[in-house]
């Protein structure tokens, strides 16, 4: 499994309130949520993001509320992977459960810049910055997590078993 | 090697003699919680699961507290979806407007959580019940769905930070000030993936409402859970509120902690978290001149009776500053009624504050007190992220009920000493 796309880069402590503000939680349809994804931190994100693009951020990405609407809105935006130094724990769990690939890699998260073209190999955990010509070793997904992501989430994975 | 208090509770619920930090376990759940925002998503996931019904109708709580009383048609549809599910599955602990309270104030009050329990909730502040000596943690809607169907959840056993609290807090220092101080010290990811275990002789000076406010905000330091030892205060609270059997777990003396912090409560001052992170703390004497437009006293952190008493004590016989909107939200119907009987509601209304039915409303920028661009609020809530209470260019300052009440009177962020 691989992902590749253009990077949208953010800083520390990107919280779930800016990923999807609570004023949109009354309509949990993924396509509807995607329209407002990252709105309070990057008003143009929904307009500019293309299928396959990658979010890169620093520490504690996804902190705050447990709203699963946050990873759902990112996934529905077409984002193929989120790379961060660290993730908040509920966000991490929710992302796996809904089948949004996320990788912790402090070196990559620090070095990769906005607009870089990046490729991620989920089997090896390798991250390639094609713009800079650099390579990083992220945490590879255990097999069962890859299966959940391939199945598009925990529920389908359980159903398919 | 010994186990922490959290590890002991998890081991017992996984049917294992011992567990270690990092170990993956499957634990039995004593309660699965959801609200009007997260339950409908979980119900959608459950429908995909092809399971028939819930694992135990007594062990699920659905609390419609966020966008209620229904703020718009879309929110009404979410509540309707949750209600239909609750009725169809005969969920015992279903609460809507009229009976509802803010979930993390309501569940302990109704006696639905006791010491030794394992609880998951599709709300990040589910960690509140650690105040009662339970393991409780926030999850997402998919985990809630799996929990409702199977009565189990998988966990990675957390390591722990130990906070040894000593001494007696000064007059205006509450549990909220203690936890803001701790978050300021370790940062919003200082306890990432970890338990925060509170201990020490200072705990004897913290009431149950103080402890609930502290455990509530463990998530604001990134913690998986926050937990207090069970003492006379806990046992008295459980006897008053619950008929459920409780189990007391204690950390082993040789339990291993990633860090141990000792905090002298007598040295702490009222503390305020500046925008836009709970870790941006200043003590009240460092705050400076910050004018405000709104005050919110309420939420799952600080909407309990002691919080309202502290605020009313300061506001009694005084008037809210001209130009400041003050919104007081008792966290449950029982607290609301008690506040009426004790004359607190009269005090608030005479001072010029609005008093609302229980709701999470303004805390998450839902309704009942949204900020315009450039406006500032002092709130007894738990998060001050960008746009949390309204416009992305508004600001939230987190504080105790005493500081919020004093600020309501002066119209700027103020300590209680300024008005008393």
Block means of pLDDT (10 residues each) for chain B, length 420 residues?
A: 96 97 94 98 93 94 98 98 98 97 98 98 98 98 96 94 98 98 98 98 98 98 98 98 98 98 98 98 98 98 98 98 98 98 98 98 98 98 98 98 98 97
Q: Are residues B338 and B365 in the same domain?
A: yes
Which of A28, A88, A154 lies at the smallest CB-CB distance from B41?
A: A28
Q: Does residue B174 fall inside a structural domain? A: yes
B145/A155 Cβ within 8 A: yes
Structure tokens at B302: 């600080």
Answer yes or no: is pLDDT of A161 > 80.
no
Q: How confident is the model at residue A21 (pLDDT cuts 50, 70, 90)?
A: very high
**CATH number of the domain encompassing residue B140:** 3.30.499.10
Q: Is residue B420 part of a domain?
A: no
Residue ending a domain, among B263, B282, B302, is: B263
Q: Count CB pairs under 8 A between chains A and B.
A: 125
- Using the predicted structure, report yes or no on whether residue A149 has a pLDDT greater than 90: no
User: Which residues on chain A place their C-beta less than 8 Å from a C-beta of chain B?
Assistant: 13, 15, 17-18, 21-23, 25-28, 40-41, 59-60, 63-69, 71-72, 86, 88-90, 93-94, 97-98, 153-156, 158-159
Question: What pLDDT digit, counting tens, does each position of A121-137 carry?
Answer: 988 899 999 999 999 99
| Residue A141 predicted with pLDDT over 80 | no
Q: How far is A104 from chain B, CA to nearest CA, in Å?
A: 14
Q: Are B292 and B250 contained in the same domain? A: no
Beta bridge partners of B281: B273
pLDDT at position B376, please?
98
| Residue A151: how many other CB atoms lie within 10 Å | 16
On whether residue B45 sits in a domain, the answer given is: yes
Which residues of chain B does A89 touch, with a Cβ-Cβ cutoff of 8 Å? 192-193, 222, 224
Instruction: Answer yes or no: is B387 within a domain.
Output: yes
Do B227 and B286 lie in one domain? The reply is: no
Which residues, in sequence order, are bridge partners of residue B95?
A: B63
A88 sits in the region (left: phi over 0; alpha: psi -120 to 50; else beta) called beta
ipTM: 0.95
Q: CB atoms < 10 A from the CB of A39, how many?
A: 20
Picking from B120, B127, B112, B117, the residue whose alpha carbon sits closest to that of residue B58 is B112
By CA distance, what is B360's nearest residue in A?
A22
Q: Mark yes or no for CB contact A13/B224 under 8 Å.
A: no
Are residue B291 and residue B258 in the same domain, yes or no?
no
Q: Is the pLDDT of residue A144 over 80?
A: no
Please tell me which of the candidates A22, A40, A90 has its beta carbon nearest to residue B392: A40
Selecting from B126, B143, B386 the residue whose C-beta is nearest the C-beta of A93 gives B143
As a whole number, the mean pLDDT across chain A is: 94
Give the per-residue pLDDT at B231.
98
Q: Does B196 touch chain A (CB under 8 A)?
A: no
- Give domain status of residue B366, yes or no: yes
Structure tokens at B34: 């959801």
Last residue of a domain, which of B206, B231, B263? B263
CB contact under 8 A, B49 and A155: yes
**Is B419 within a domain?**
no
Q: Would the pLDDT of A142 be above 90?
A: no
**pLDDT surpassing 90 at residue A159:** no
A71-102 as b/e, with b when 16 or more CB fall inside 10 Å? bbbbbbbebbbbbbbbbbbbbbbbbbbbbbbb
Number of domains chain B is built from: 2
- On whether residue B31 sits in a domain, the answer given is yes
| Residue after which a domain boundary falls, among B219, B235, B263 | B263
Res A158: pLDDT: 79
Domain coverage including residue B282? 273-413
- B142 and B9 within one domain: yes
For residues B307 and B400, state if they share a domain.
yes
Task: Indicate whether B268 belongs to any domain.
Answer: no
Give the confidence band of A1 by pLDDT, cuts at 50, 70, 90: confident
d(CA A43, CA B305): 41
CA dist., res. A89 & res. A76, Å (int): 21
Q: Does B189 touch chain A (CB under 8 A)?
A: yes
Of chain B residues 269-288, which have a CB less than 8 A from chain A? 277
Residues from chain B contacting residue A155 (CB–CB below 8 Å): 45, 48-49, 142, 145-146
Asked if A87 contacts A102 with a C-beta cutoff of 8 angstroms, the reply is yes
């Amino acid at each position: 499994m691989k992902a590749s796309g253009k990077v949208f880069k953010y800083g520390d402590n990107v919280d779930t309130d800016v990923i999807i503000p609570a004023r949109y939680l009354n309509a949990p349809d993924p396509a509807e949520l995607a329209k407002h994804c990252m709105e309070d931190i990057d008003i143009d994100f929904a307009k500019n993001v293309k299928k396959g693009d990658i979010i890169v951020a620093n520490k504690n990405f996804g902190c705050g509320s447990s709203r699963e609407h946050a990873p759902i809105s990112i996934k529905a935006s077409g984002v193929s992977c989120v790379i961060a130094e660290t993730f908040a724990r509920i966000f991490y769990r929710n992302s796996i459960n809904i089948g949004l690939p996320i990788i912790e890699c402090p070196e990559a998260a620090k070095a990769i810049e906005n607009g870089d073209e990046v490729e991620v190999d989920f089997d090896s955990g390798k991250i390639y910055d094609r713009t800079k010509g650099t390579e990083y070793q992220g945490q590879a997904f255990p097999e069962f997590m890859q299966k959940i992501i391939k199945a598009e989430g925990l529920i389908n994975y359980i159903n398919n078993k | 090697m010994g186990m922490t208090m959290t590890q002991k509770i998890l081991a017992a619920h996984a049917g294992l003699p011992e567990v270690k930090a990092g170990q993956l376990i499957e634990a039995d759940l004593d309660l699965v919680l959801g609200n009007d925002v997260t339950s409908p998503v979980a119900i959608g996931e459950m429908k995909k699961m092809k399971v028939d019904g819930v694992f135990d109708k007594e062990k699920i709580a659905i609390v419609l507290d966020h966008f209620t009383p229904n703020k718009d048609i879309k929110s009404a549809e979410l509540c309707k979806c949750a209600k239909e599910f609750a009725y169809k599955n005969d969920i015992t602990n279903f609460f809507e407007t009229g009976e509802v309270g803010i979930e993390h104030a309501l569940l302990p009050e109704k006696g639905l959580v006791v010491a030794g329990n394992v609880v998951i909730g599709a709300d990040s502040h589910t960690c509140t019940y650690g105040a009662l000596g339970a393991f409780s943690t926030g999850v997402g809607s998919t985990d809630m769905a799996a929990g409702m169907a199977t009565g189990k959840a998988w966990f990675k056993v957390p390591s722990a930070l130990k906070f040894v609290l000593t001494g007696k807090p000064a007059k205006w220092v509450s549990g909220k000030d203690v936890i803001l101080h701790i978050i300021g010290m370790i940062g919003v990811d200082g306890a990432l993936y970890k338990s925060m275990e509170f201990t020490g002789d200072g705990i004897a000076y913290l009431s149950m409402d103080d402890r609930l406010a502290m455990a509530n905000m463990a998530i604001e330091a990134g913690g998986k859970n926050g937990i207090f030892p069970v003492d006379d205060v806990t046992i008295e609270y459980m006897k008053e509120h619950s008929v459920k059997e409780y189990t007391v777990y204690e950390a082993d003396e040789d339990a291993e902690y990633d860090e141990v912090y000792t905090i002298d409560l007598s040295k702490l001052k009222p503390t305020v978290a500046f925008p836009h992170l709970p870790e941006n703390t200043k003590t009240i004497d460092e705050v400076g001149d910050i004018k405000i437009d709104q005050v919110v006293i309420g939420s799952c952190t600080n909407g309990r009776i002691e919080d309202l008493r502290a605020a009313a004590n300061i506001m009694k016989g005084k008037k809210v500053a001209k130009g400041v909107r003050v919104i007081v939200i008792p966290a449950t119907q029982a607290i609301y009624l008690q506040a009426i009987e004790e004359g607190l509601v009269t005090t608030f209304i005479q001072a010029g504050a609005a008093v609302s039915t229980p709701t999470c409303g303004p805390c998450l920028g839902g309704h009942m007190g949204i900020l315009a661009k450039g406006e500032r609020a002092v709130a007894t809530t738990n998060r001050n992220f960008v746009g949390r209470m309204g416009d992305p260019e508004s600001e939230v300052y987190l504080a105790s009920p005493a500081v919020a009440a004093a600020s309501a009177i002066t119209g700027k962020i103020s300590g209680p000493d300024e008005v008393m």
